[in-house]
Amino acid sequence: MTFNGTFTKIANTVAHAAGMPAAFIACCLVVFVWAVSGPLFGFSDTWQLIINTGTTIITFLMVFLIQNTQNRDGAALQTKLDELIRVTAASNKFIGIEHLTEQEVEEFRLRCERAAKRKKNALENTR
């Protein structure tokens, strides 16, 4: 298996596990044990450093894993939408607009909004 394949598998597994209720409960339990152990260690700098370092490392790593998962999910969703546009009577000019600038995408959105209003008005006028 390639590095990308291995990373994808790990990212999916970790992101899925991190979203489970058991992961939240485990994190709460770790924080509880850490807080309760404070008096035992005299609320020392080392005691504080343990939780600070641990949470910083976990947060740093999770950012990349979750971003990888979201990037793939977004690309897969966009590909599915592009395929639906391609096989229906919808306008193919919308395929790939996710690669445009924010301003260009906003122009597309406004055009769609105006077209929807025209269609709504036309339907109301036929009643």
pLDDT, tens digit (0-9, with 9 covering 90-100), for 87-127? 898 888 888 888 889 899 899 889 889 988 998 898 888 87
> pTM of the prediction?
0.64
- How do residues 48-86 score in pLDDT, each as one tens digit? 999 999 999 999 999 998 899 899 999 899 999 899 888
Q: Mean of the pLDDT values across residues 3-14? A: 88
Residues 6+ apart with CB under 8 A from 12: 69
Task: Write down the domain spans for the chain.
Answer: 3-90, 96-127
Q: Mean of the pLDDT values across residues 12-34? A: 93
Helical spans, DSSP H, in the chain? 3-18, 21-36, 45-87, 102-125
Longest dimension (CA), the chain: 79
